[in-house]
Structure 1
């Protein structure tokens, strides 16, 4: 049964995992976000109740 033979697929999986974790991931993590989060002052607007005609 060829699907039980891990010979080619194990090597491909390990090489792709190492490529991602050692080369691609540090490059992606080094990018700075363009819009850094900032502290926003929450302004709560005072709303009046709706004048329902049936109350």
Structure 2
């Protein structure tokens, strides 16, 4: 079965993962987050029930 031959595909997979982990990933991780998480507690607003005119 020729589809089980890992000949060219294994080298392509290793090359792409090496490129991702050594070149692309450090560049992506160096960016600062534009929306950092905050330690604030969420504010809950009190709502009033809707008064339906037909009740």
Same fold (TM over 0.5): yes
Aligned length: 53
Distance 2:44 2:11 in 1: 58
**Compared with structure 1, are the counterparts of its residues 6 and 44 closer, same or farther at alpha carbon in structure 2 (3 Å cutoff)?**
closer
Distance 1:9 1:44 in 2: 55
- Report deviation, 1:39: 2.2
Distance 2:26 2:16 in 1: 15
Match of 1:19 in 2: 19
SS of the aligned residue for 1:39 comes to coil
Residues 13-43 of structure 1: CA deviation (Å, up to 9, x unaligned): 0000000000000001001001112221454
**Compared with structure 1, are the counterparts of its residues 45 and 4 closer, same or farther at alpha carbon in structure 2 (3 Å cutoff)?**
closer
Give the aligned CA root-mean-square deviation in angstroms.
Answer: 2.0
TM-score with structure 2 length normalisation? 0.69
* Off by >6 Å, runs of 4+ in structure 1: none
